[in-house]
């Protein structure tokens, strides 16, 4: 053991304190000699309100088996679980709260190492952010995607939700058919089965080196998910033995690798805010511009929905992330992962079993697939767009703004006959950012109005300070920073204003004269959300803008062992 176990400060204590620390634990039937072993926390986001993570109790048992057989003492503990589909107004509002729960739970307890069980979108960044702030040896087990849905003999997956929504708008689907589709959708436990945000987070975790190689692609119901959970239980014991901490893995090089891999796998734009927030926790300098500089020229190597055709299950059968990493070798940096080896070493023997799903670097599915960052008077601190999910003909576009003051205004007016909108219009949504929603909801990919869909038009430029689901697509400029509720230029856009989006030149411009702008600024007031208590009040006072990862200012940085007093 390289270092004295942290848990010794609790369980080696003599007298009254030692009695209290051990005696209550012994009520669970724990023999006395267990307290000399490394104590491994299993941080579990299982919840029946987070169906993507509904199999995590079983997964925790597999981790425990790995810890036990390696001579450790596993202790499972719950933390706040963020279920993407049910929570209002958006799980993103609670990501930072959950990360605080994780951080304080780890720091306050006698833990020597931690295994994080992550699945649904925000459960991954919140757990990594929290654990990074304590900086113990930590490994992640990603819960895996659910099986692909089947409806009337055809695949059905999360990306289809947006197509279903358009069909509902056009009156082409009735309620009974929707109910039938729902029943055919979720065939097993696990997270969304496309390269949406949850899969992106699993890929990010593996690319950062925070999980064992191959973990991201194994589907939730596959027996090998339990195998990798058990192996992760064994690995965390080695990490504790060798004192391999989060900060040894989350280097600047690891973040650069994650950006490269995200581009090659067509990952969600949500990756940006989460990676920036994680970097902030470990003190690694990462800038919004890095996502463009490092990632935008990387080719797309995976043919997975929503950018492509196949599903997460197919990704696994084709060989998973190690195949992609092997192809990307020349772009990646050598930096240690959880098992002490670099991701390229870990992927050296990967084999591609299906080149319809996974392309080679010499013959990619798409060139220049990464995220692009645009700047201009409409986004002084940047905004992002995913060209791979956008329409080629709209990447350079000048049009007149159709403005919605907030999401309620959008819902109220989008299908009214007096809405002046055509295929050249640019839809603008305000008050969807970190402070304005609050929580930076996934509403940036506003569905098009019926009048536009009826003309067979499937895409318009859309601009907002919100996010979009990783399963969505379209020419959507997102994460505009500073946001409208913080007095960013977006707040001053009015119907009919001309806007130019120029992706090749990385610019987003509102055409407005100084006098007009000064007048609008003088008449502007920040929205009053009427929130005067609790966590959301704290969040509103401290949340940073999207270009900084939308973390709270006081959560940046880490502290292994703050001076915590004895509890008795």
d(CA 555, CA 430): 27
111 and 41 in contact (C-beta within 8 Å)? yes
We find the least distance from the C-beta atom of residue 272 to ligand FES, in angstroms, to be 18
Stretch of 191-199, 221-229, 393-401, 521-529 contacting ligand FES, by CB under 6 A: 191-199
We find the least distance from the C-beta atom of residue 181 to ligand FES, in angstroms, to be 16
We find the least distance from the C-beta atom of residue 524 to ligand FES, in angstroms, to be 36
533 and 402 in contact (C-beta within 8 Å)? no
Q: Which is nearer to ligand FES, 80 or 288 (CB)?
A: 80
121 and 161 in contact (C-beta within 8 Å)? no
Q: Which is nearer to ligand FES, 85 or 559 (CB)?
A: 85
Stretch of 188-196, 251-259, 285-293, 402-410 contacting ligand FES, by CB under 6 A: 188-196
We find the least distance from the C-beta atom of residue 121 to ligand FES, in angstroms, to be 5
520 and 246 in contact (C-beta within 8 Å)? no
d(CA 210, CA 183): 35
We find the least distance from the C-beta atom of residue 271 to ligand FES, in angstroms, to be 14
| Residue 52 in the binding site for ligand FES (CB under 6 A) | yes
| Residue 495 in the binding site for ligand FES (CB under 6 A) | no
Question: In the structure, how many helices (H) and strands (E) does the chain have?
Answer: 20, 14
Stretch of 189-197, 243-251, 380-388, 407-415 contacting ligand FES, by CB under 6 A: 189-197
Q: Which is nearer to ligand FES, 86 or 564 (CB)?
A: 86
Pairing of strands 461-464, 476-477: parallel
Q: Which is nearer to ligand FES, 49 or 560 (CB)?
A: 49
d(CA 245, CA 210): 10
We find the least distance from the C-beta atom of residue 453 to ligand FES, in angstroms, to be 25
558 and 282 in contact (C-beta within 8 Å)? yes
Buried b (16+ CB within 10 A) or exposed e, 229-247: bbbbbbbbbbbbbeebbbe
| Residue 192 in the binding site for ligand FES (CB under 6 A) | yes
| Residue 196 in the binding site for ligand FES (CB under 6 A) | yes
- Which residue, among 163, 145, 141, has the nearest Cα to 154 in the 3D structure? 163
For Cα atoms 533, 535, 536, give the angle at the middle one, nearest 5 degrees. Answer: 75
Out of 76, 84, 241, 497, which residue is the one contacting ligand FES (CB under 6 A)? 84
Stretch of 103-111, 192-200, 282-290, 391-399 contacting ligand FES, by CB under 6 A: 192-200
Segment 92-151, which members bind ligand FES (CB under 6 A)? 120-121
- Dihedrals φ, ψ of 211, to 5°? -130, 170
Q: By the criterion CB under 6 A, which residues form the site for ligand FES?
A: 52, 84-85, 120-121, 158, 191-192, 196, 198
């Amino acid at each position: 053991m390289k270092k004295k176990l942290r848990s010794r400060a609790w369980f080696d204590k003599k007298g009254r304190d030692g009695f209290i620390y051990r005696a209550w634990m012994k009520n669970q039937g724990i023999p006395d000699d267990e307290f000399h072993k490394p104590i491994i926390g299993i941080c579990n986001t299982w919840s029946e309100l987070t169906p993507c993570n509904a199999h995590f109790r079983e997964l925790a048992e597999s981790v425990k088996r790995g810890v036990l057989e390696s001579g450790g003492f596993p202790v499972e503990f719950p933390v706040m679980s963020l279920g993407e589909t049910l929570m209002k107004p958006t799980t993103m509002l609670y990501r930072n709260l959950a990360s605080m729960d994780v951080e304080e739970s780890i720091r306050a307890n006698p833990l020597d190492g931690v295994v994080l069980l992550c699945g649904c979108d925000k459960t991954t960044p919140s757990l990594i952010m929290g654990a990074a702030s304590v900086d113990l040896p930590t490994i992640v087990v990603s819960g895996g995607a659910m099986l692909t849905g089947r409806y009337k003999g055809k695949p059905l997956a999360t990306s289809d939700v947006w197509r279903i929504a358009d069909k509902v708008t056009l009156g082409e689907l009735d309620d009974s058919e929707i109910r039938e589709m729902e029943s055919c959708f979720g065939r097993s436990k696990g997270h969304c089965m496309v390269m949406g945000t949850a899969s992106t987070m699993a890929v990010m975790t593996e690319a950062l080196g925070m999980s064992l190689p191959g973990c991201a692609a194994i589907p939730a119901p596959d027996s090998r998910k339990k195998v990798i959970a058990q192996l992760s239980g064994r690995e965390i014991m080695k990490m504790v033995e060798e004192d391999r901490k989060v900060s040894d893995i989350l280097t600047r090089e690891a973040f650069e690798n994650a950006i490269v891999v995200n581009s090659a796998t067509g990952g969600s734009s949500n990756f940006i805010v989460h990676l920036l927030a994680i970097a902030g926790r470990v003190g690694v300098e990462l800038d919004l511009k890095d996502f463009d500089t490092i990632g935008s020229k990387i080719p797309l190597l995976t043919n997975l929905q929503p950018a492509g055709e196949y599903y997460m299950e197919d990704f696994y059968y084709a060989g998973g992330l190690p195949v992609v990493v092997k192809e990307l070798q020349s772009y990646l940096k050598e930096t240690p992962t959880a098992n002490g080896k670099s991701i390229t070493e870990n992927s050296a023997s990967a084999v591609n079993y299906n080149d319809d799903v996974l392309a080679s670097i010499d013959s990619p599915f798409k060139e220049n697939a990464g995220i692009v960052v645009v700047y201009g008077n409409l986004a002084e601190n940047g905004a992002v767009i995913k060209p791979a999910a956008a329409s080629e003909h709209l990447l350079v576009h000048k049009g007149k703004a159709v403005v919605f003051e907030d999401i309620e205004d959008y819902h109220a007016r989008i299908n009214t006959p007096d809405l002046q909108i055509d295929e050249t219009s640019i839809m603008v949504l305000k008050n969807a950012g970190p402070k304005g929603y609050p929580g930076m909801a996934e509403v940036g990919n506003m569905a098009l109005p019926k009048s536009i869909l009826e003309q067979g038009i499937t895409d318009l430029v859309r601009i907002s300070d919100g996010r979009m689901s990783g399963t969505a697509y379209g020419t959507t400029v997102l994460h505009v920073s500073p946001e409208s509720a913080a007095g960013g230029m977006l707040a001053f856009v009015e119907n009919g204003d001309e806007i130019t989006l120029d992706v090749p030149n990385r610019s987003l411009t509102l055409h407005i004269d100084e006098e007009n702008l000064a007048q609008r600024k003088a008449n502007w007031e920040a929205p009053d959300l009427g929130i005067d208590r609790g966590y959301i009040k704290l969040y509103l006072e401290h949340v940073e803008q999207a270009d900084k990862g939308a973390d709270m200012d006081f959560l940046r940085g880490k502290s292994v062992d703050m001076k915590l007093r004895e509890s008795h």
